[in-house]
Amino acid sequence: MVKIRLARVGAKKQPKYRIVVAESTYKRTGRNIETIGHYDPTVNPYLVEINKERYLYWVSVGGQPTVTVRNLFKKLAK
């Protein structure tokens, strides 16, 4: 099953995340199929960039976004 989820990058106590498409059996920071965006919660207001076309493509072919990614996309789509 393909998941759309966050992969953590960044230094200790400075989290930054990539929004990636990965097989559900892959490790959190391991291999991924495609990187479709990034999320930085350390700045105010937080920074979210998602390639909407690729997100909608992966959802249409059966990709399951995590709850966090789904909420970030909803806030971005407003």
Q: What is the 3-state secondary structure (H, E, C) of the chain?
A: CEEEEEEEECCCCCCEEEEEEEECCCCCCCCCCEEEEEEECCCCCCEEEECHHHHHHHHHCCCEECHHHHHHHHHHHC
Question: What gap in Å lies between CA 76 and CA 20, rounded to an integer?
Answer: 16
Dihedral-angle region of residue 13 (phi above 0 means left; psi in -120 to 50 means alpha; beta otherwise): left
Question: What gap in Å lies between CA 68 and CA 78, rounded to an integer?
Answer: 16
CA 61 to chain centre: 17
* Residue 76 confidence (pLDDT) above 90: no
Q: What is the CATH number of domain 2-77?
A: 3.30.1320.10
Domain spans, the chain: 2-77
Task: State pLDDT tens for residues 10-39.
Answer: 999 999 999 999 998 877 777 889 999 999
**pLDDT band at residue 78, thresholds of 50, 70 and 90?**
confident
Q: Average pLDDT in the 45-55 region?
A: 94
